[in-house]
Amino acid sequence: MQARDALCRCIPGRNAISRTYRFVVVDVFTDTPYTGNQLGVFTDATGLSADEMQMLAREMHFSECTFVLPAEADGDIRMRIFTPARELPFAGHPTLGTAFVVSGPLQRTVLSIETARGTVPVALEREGAEIVFGRMEQPIPTIEPYTETAPLFEALGVPGSLLPVERYDNGTPHIYVMVETDAEVAALAPDTGALGRLLGPTGVSVFSADGPRVKTRMLGPELGVVEDPATGSAAGPMAVHLARHGLIGWGDEITISQGAEILRPSTLYARAEGSGDTIARVEVAGSAVVVARGEFVL
């Protein structure tokens, strides 16, 4: 204790009354370390203020960080989600990644996570003691047309969209633009400054689809994510979008490839159940792998 006090006195801004918060880094929507979408999970965020959570998310500078808190309603845990720029009511890869991290110590195969958009159940699959796959039931998105298509296409550098351009919101809003080929998605060179000014805190997914196989890139400059390696909150509405417009059947599972262009290849699975414009259930699934553990001292 004396040694620690002496060390604290030697470090500017530090004192003996410091607080330690442990975190786990998990790569989500992949089974290969150092691919997929990075996530920082603070496993016990009790005592952290919202400003401190935002500061830590900005310091880690992943697409998102999550902060695990005691449950307040019908869940096993409660979770807050922060990008480097803002708090989100719901996001997909943080929910799945947090379930992978927390369910091990809790010895759970189904984990209910309270979010600001409602309680999200995650069903986990194990091989022996290891969790290898998870499926989350996402909030049902709201849907509305997006009308500012001309400046959107200009900012993206695409000629148009093969499907109607619509805005889906399940806690994180996303707009969908469909192009003809995977090569067009890969070659995308957007004006991210113009996108940010046009869309504000809304993501845009530019994608191509061949039956249930989808290639996508998700841009969200004002969400704090210029380009996201894997976007679970966009994957569920993607399945809804394709089913509503007849490119897949309701209940069909799609396989989404994302992140290759920023050297973080990811694979997401999604399905939507319903009929017509009635959405009954949205599910997104994938793998995750823990790659690091550490702590911050405040």
Report the catalytic residues.
64
CA–CA distance, 30 with 263 (Å, rounded to integer):
13
CA–CA distance, 251 with 106 (Å, rounded to integer):
31
> Nearest to residue 281, comparing CAs of 146, 166, 120?
120
Contact between residue 100 and residue 134 where contact means Cβ atoms under 8 Å apart: yes
> Nearest to residue 287, comparing CAs of 36, 4, 1?
36
Q: Exposure of 28 by Cβ count < 10 A (0-12 exposed, 13-18 middle, 19+ buried)?
A: buried
CA–CA distance, 187 with 184 (Å, rounded to integer):
5
Q: Exposure of 296 by Cβ count < 10 A (0-12 exposed, 13-18 middle, 19+ buried)?
A: middle
Contact between residue 214 and residue 208 where contact means Cβ atoms under 8 Å apart: yes
Q: Is the dihedral of CA 137, 139, 142, 146 positive or negative?
A: negative
Where are any strands of DSSP class E within 181-265? 203-210, 213-220, 225-228, 253-258
CA–CA distance, 140 with 276 (Å, rounded to integer):
14
Task: Indicate the helix (H) or strand (E) that contains 196.
Answer: helix 192-199
For residues 139-177, b (16+ Cβ closer than 10 Å) or e, as one string?
bbbeeeebeeeeebeebbebeebebebbbbbbbbbbbbb
CA–CA distance, 168 with 172 (Å, rounded to integer):
8
